[in-house]
Protein backbone atom coordinates (compact mmCIF):
# COMPACT_ATOMS: atom_id res chain seq x y z
CA UNK A 1 0.00 0.00 0.00
CA UNK A 2 1.08 3.59 -0.48
CA UNK A 3 0.92 6.34 2.09
CA UNK A 4 -1.79 8.80 1.20
CA UNK A 5 -1.64 12.52 1.91
CA UNK A 6 -4.34 13.59 4.33
CA UNK A 7 -5.05 16.79 6.19
CA UNK A 8 -2.97 17.29 9.31
CA UNK A 9 -5.04 16.25 12.29
CA UNK A 10 -4.43 16.38 16.01
CA UNK A 11 -2.69 13.39 17.50
CA UNK A 12 -5.34 11.34 19.23
CA UNK A 13 -4.40 11.98 22.85
CA UNK A 14 -1.16 10.08 22.36
CA UNK A 15 1.35 11.69 24.70
CA UNK A 16 4.22 9.77 23.10
CA UNK A 17 4.15 12.14 20.14
CA UNK A 18 5.17 15.78 20.06
CA UNK A 19 2.85 18.28 18.44
CA UNK A 20 4.94 19.16 15.40
CA UNK A 21 3.07 18.82 12.10
CA UNK A 22 5.69 16.34 10.90
CA UNK A 23 4.97 14.04 13.84
CA UNK A 24 1.23 14.41 13.24
CA UNK A 25 1.66 13.34 9.62
CA UNK A 26 3.85 10.47 10.79
CA UNK A 27 1.17 9.32 13.22
CA UNK A 28 -1.51 9.34 10.51
CA UNK A 29 0.79 7.48 8.11
CA UNK A 30 1.73 4.86 10.69
CA UNK A 31 -1.97 4.22 11.25
CA UNK A 32 -2.27 3.33 7.56
CA UNK A 33 0.78 1.07 7.63
CA UNK A 34 -0.40 -0.76 10.75
CA UNK A 35 -3.94 -1.10 9.45
CA UNK A 36 -5.57 0.66 12.38
CA UNK A 37 -5.10 3.02 15.25
CA UNK A 38 -2.01 3.29 17.40
CA UNK A 39 -3.94 3.37 20.66
CA UNK A 40 -2.26 1.01 23.09
CA UNK A 41 0.63 0.34 20.72
CA UNK A 42 4.10 0.86 22.08
CA UNK A 43 6.12 -0.59 19.20
CA UNK A 44 6.09 -0.50 15.40
CA UNK A 45 8.25 -2.17 12.79
CA UNK A 46 11.42 -0.25 12.02
CA UNK A 47 10.74 -0.68 8.29
CA UNK A 48 7.40 1.07 8.70
CA UNK A 49 9.01 3.89 10.63
CA UNK A 50 11.59 4.31 7.87
CA UNK A 51 8.87 4.31 5.19
CA UNK A 52 7.09 7.11 7.00
CA UNK A 53 10.31 9.12 7.40
CA UNK A 54 11.07 8.74 3.69
CA UNK A 55 7.53 9.85 2.87
CA UNK A 56 7.99 12.91 5.10
CA UNK A 57 11.34 13.65 3.47
CA UNK A 58 9.84 13.62 0.00
CA UNK A 59 6.75 15.61 1.06
CA UNK A 60 8.86 18.29 2.75
CA UNK A 61 11.25 18.47 -0.21
CA UNK A 62 8.31 19.19 -2.52
CA UNK A 63 7.12 21.88 -0.09
CA UNK A 64 10.60 23.44 0.15
CA UNK A 65 10.93 23.51 -3.61
CA UNK A 66 7.52 25.18 -4.01
CA UNK A 67 8.07 27.84 -1.33
CA UNK A 68 11.83 28.17 -1.15
CA UNK A 69 11.69 31.93 -0.56
CA UNK A 70 9.75 31.27 2.67
CA UNK A 71 12.06 28.63 4.19
CA UNK A 72 12.78 30.45 7.47
CA UNK A 73 9.14 31.35 7.93
CA UNK A 74 7.99 27.79 7.29
CA UNK A 75 10.55 26.26 9.68
CA UNK A 76 9.43 28.67 12.39
CA UNK A 77 5.76 27.89 11.75
CA UNK A 78 6.36 24.13 11.91
CA UNK A 79 8.34 24.29 15.16
CA UNK A 80 6.59 23.22 18.33
CA UNK A 81 6.81 25.08 21.60
CA UNK A 82 10.17 24.36 23.14
CA UNK A 83 11.65 23.12 19.86
CA UNK A 84 13.23 25.18 17.12
CA UNK A 85 14.95 23.81 14.04
CA UNK A 86 18.65 24.65 13.80
CA UNK A 87 19.25 25.78 10.22
CA UNK A 88 23.02 25.29 10.44
CA UNK A 89 22.67 21.71 11.70
CA UNK A 90 20.12 20.90 9.02
CA UNK A 91 22.35 22.22 6.25
CA UNK A 92 25.32 20.31 7.62
CA UNK A 93 23.26 17.08 7.76
CA UNK A 94 22.16 17.58 4.15
CA UNK A 95 25.72 18.33 3.03
CA UNK A 96 26.89 15.11 4.66
CA UNK A 97 24.11 13.12 3.00
CA UNK A 98 24.92 14.60 -0.42
CA UNK A 99 28.60 13.71 -0.02
CA UNK A 100 28.12 10.18 1.27
CA UNK A 101 25.02 8.76 -0.39
CA UNK A 102 25.56 5.91 -2.82
CA UNK A 103 25.16 6.58 -6.52
CA UNK A 104 22.49 3.89 -6.68
CA UNK A 105 20.11 6.20 -4.80
CA UNK A 106 18.18 7.82 -7.58
CA UNK A 107 14.88 8.75 -5.89
CA UNK A 108 14.04 10.88 -2.88
CA UNK A 109 13.08 7.76 -0.95
CA UNK A 110 16.30 5.88 -1.64
CA UNK A 111 18.34 9.07 -1.16
CA UNK A 112 16.89 9.36 2.35
CA UNK A 113 16.98 5.67 3.27
CA UNK A 114 20.62 5.08 2.30
CA UNK A 115 22.13 7.60 4.71
CA UNK A 116 19.59 7.09 7.48
CA UNK A 117 19.93 3.32 7.60
CA UNK A 118 23.67 3.73 7.98
CA UNK A 119 23.10 5.72 11.17
CA UNK A 120 21.04 2.76 12.43
CA UNK A 121 23.90 0.33 11.65
CA UNK A 122 21.92 -1.21 8.80
CA UNK A 123 23.04 -1.64 5.22
CA UNK A 124 20.86 -0.23 2.47
CA UNK A 125 20.43 -3.63 0.86
CA UNK A 126 17.65 -6.19 0.58
CA UNK A 127 19.08 -7.95 3.63
CA UNK A 128 19.22 -4.67 5.56
CA UNK A 129 15.61 -3.85 4.73
CA UNK A 130 14.50 -7.35 5.73
CA UNK A 131 16.29 -6.85 9.03
CA UNK A 132 14.51 -3.51 9.50
CA UNK A 133 11.21 -5.25 8.81
CA UNK A 134 11.94 -7.78 11.56
CA UNK A 135 12.87 -5.20 14.20
CA UNK A 136 10.41 -3.49 16.52
CA UNK A 137 11.06 0.00 17.84
CA UNK A 138 9.30 2.05 20.49
CA UNK A 139 7.01 4.68 19.04
CA UNK A 140 8.82 7.40 20.92
CA UNK A 141 12.08 6.58 19.13
CA UNK A 142 10.57 7.87 15.91
CA UNK A 143 10.03 11.46 17.04
CA UNK A 144 13.51 12.86 16.27
CA UNK A 145 13.62 10.96 12.98
CA UNK A 146 10.22 12.28 11.86
CA UNK A 147 11.14 15.88 12.61
CA UNK A 148 14.65 15.61 11.16
CA UNK A 149 13.34 13.98 7.97
CA UNK A 150 10.78 16.72 7.43
CA UNK A 151 13.11 19.59 8.24
CA UNK A 152 16.02 18.31 6.15
CA UNK A 153 13.64 17.63 3.27
CA UNK A 154 12.62 21.29 3.38
CA UNK A 155 16.28 22.33 3.13
CA UNK A 156 16.87 20.02 0.17
CA UNK A 157 13.85 21.33 -1.73
CA UNK A 158 14.62 24.97 -1.10
CA UNK A 159 18.38 24.73 -1.69
CA UNK A 160 18.42 22.31 -4.62
CA UNK A 161 15.09 22.64 -6.48
CA UNK A 162 16.43 21.07 -9.69
CA UNK A 163 17.94 18.10 -7.89
CA UNK A 164 14.71 17.66 -5.93
CA UNK A 165 12.68 17.48 -9.12
CA UNK A 166 15.17 15.07 -10.69
CA UNK A 167 15.06 12.73 -7.69
CA UNK A 168 11.28 13.02 -7.45
CA UNK A 169 10.80 12.07 -11.08
CA UNK A 170 13.02 9.01 -10.71
CA UNK A 171 10.90 7.41 -7.96
CA UNK A 172 11.77 3.78 -7.32
CA UNK A 173 13.56 2.53 -10.41
CA UNK A 174 11.78 -0.72 -11.26
CA UNK A 175 14.86 -1.82 -13.20
CA UNK A 176 16.90 -1.85 -10.00
CA UNK A 177 17.14 -5.44 -8.72
CA UNK A 178 17.33 -4.37 -5.09
CA UNK A 179 14.20 -2.24 -5.42
CA UNK A 180 12.31 -5.08 -7.12
CA UNK A 181 13.23 -7.47 -4.33
CA UNK A 182 12.31 -4.97 -1.62
CA UNK A 183 8.86 -4.53 -3.16
CA UNK A 184 8.43 -8.28 -3.57
CA UNK A 185 9.14 -8.85 0.13
CA UNK A 186 6.91 -5.98 1.22
CA UNK A 187 9.67 -4.12 3.02
CA UNK A 188 9.00 -0.92 1.09
CA UNK A 189 5.73 0.35 -0.32
CA UNK A 190 5.11 2.18 -3.59
CA UNK A 191 5.76 5.89 -3.34
CA UNK A 192 2.96 8.40 -3.34
CA UNK A 193 4.82 10.11 -6.17
CA UNK A 194 4.03 7.18 -8.46
CA UNK A 195 0.48 8.50 -8.52
CA UNK A 196 1.19 12.08 -9.55
CA UNK A 197 3.73 14.31 -11.26
CA UNK A 198 5.56 16.85 -9.16
CA UNK A 199 3.15 19.69 -10.00
CA UNK A 200 0.15 17.65 -8.84
CA UNK A 201 2.01 16.57 -5.72
CA UNK A 202 2.96 20.18 -5.06
CA UNK A 203 -0.70 21.21 -5.03
CA UNK A 204 -1.48 18.42 -2.57
CA UNK A 205 1.38 19.39 -0.29
CA UNK A 206 0.55 23.11 -0.33
CA UNK A 207 -3.02 22.22 0.63
CA UNK A 208 -1.77 19.96 3.40
CA UNK A 209 0.31 22.76 4.95
CA UNK A 210 -1.91 25.70 4.03
CA UNK A 211 -2.55 26.80 7.61
CA UNK A 212 1.21 27.16 8.15
CA UNK A 213 1.79 29.08 4.94
CA UNK A 214 -0.68 31.91 5.50
| The three-state (H, E, C) secondary structure of 145-177, written as one string | HHHHHHHHHHHHHHHCHHHHHHHHHHCCCCCCH
pLDDT at 106: 73
Say if 11 falls within a structural domain.
no
Say if 5 falls within a structural domain.
no
Considering only 10-19, 139-148, 162-171, which range has the smallest mean pLDDT? 10-19
CA-angle at 146, arms to 197 and 10, nearest 5° = 90
Say if 74 falls within a structural domain.
yes
Considering only 62-66, 86-90, 100-104, 124-128, which range has the smallest mean pLDDT? 100-104
Mean pLDDT, to the nearest integer, of 111-139? 86
Say if 8 falls within a structural domain.
no
Say whether pLDDT at 194 is over 60: no
Burial of 115 (0-12, 13-18, 19+ CB in 10 A): buried
pLDDT at 39: 57
Considering only 1-10, 21-30, 69-78, 161-170, which range has the smallest mean pLDDT? 1-10
Say if 170 falls within a structural domain.
yes
Say if 117 falls within a structural domain.
yes
Say if 43 falls within a structural domain.
yes
Number of CB atoms found within 10 A of residue 70's CB: 16
Mean pLDDT, to the nearest integer, of 44-55? 86
| Domain limits for position 136 | 21-188+197-202
Query: With contact defined as beta carbons under 8 Å apart, do 156 and 164 qualify?
Result: yes
Say if 130 falls within a structural domain.
yes
pLDDT at 100: 83
What does the mean pLDDT of the chain come to? Answer: 77
pLDDT at 212: 81
Tell me what percent of the residues of the chain surpass a pLDDT of 90.
Answer: 17
* Cα–Cα separations (whole angstroms), residue 61 to 68, 81, 201, 212: 10, 23, 11, 16
* Distance, CA of 98 to CA of 142 (rounded, Å): 23
Query: With contact defined as beta carbons under 8 Å apart, do 52 and 41 qualify?
Result: no
Q: Based on the structure, what is the number of domains in the chain? A: 1
Contacts 24+ apart (CB under 8 A), 77-80: 77/212, 77/213, 78/20, 78/21, 78/22, 78/150, 78/151, 78/212, 79/20, 80/18, 80/19, 80/20
* Cα–Cα separations (whole angstroms), residue 32 to 76, 189, 196: 28, 12, 20
Say whether pLDDT at 2 is over 50: no
Amino acid sequence: MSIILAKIVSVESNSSFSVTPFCQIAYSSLKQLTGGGLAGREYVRLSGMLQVCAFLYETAAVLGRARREDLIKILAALSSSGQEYNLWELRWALKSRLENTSRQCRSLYTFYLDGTMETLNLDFTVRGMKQAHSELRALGEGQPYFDAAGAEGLILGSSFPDLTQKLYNKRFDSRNRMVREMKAHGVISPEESEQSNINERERQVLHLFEEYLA
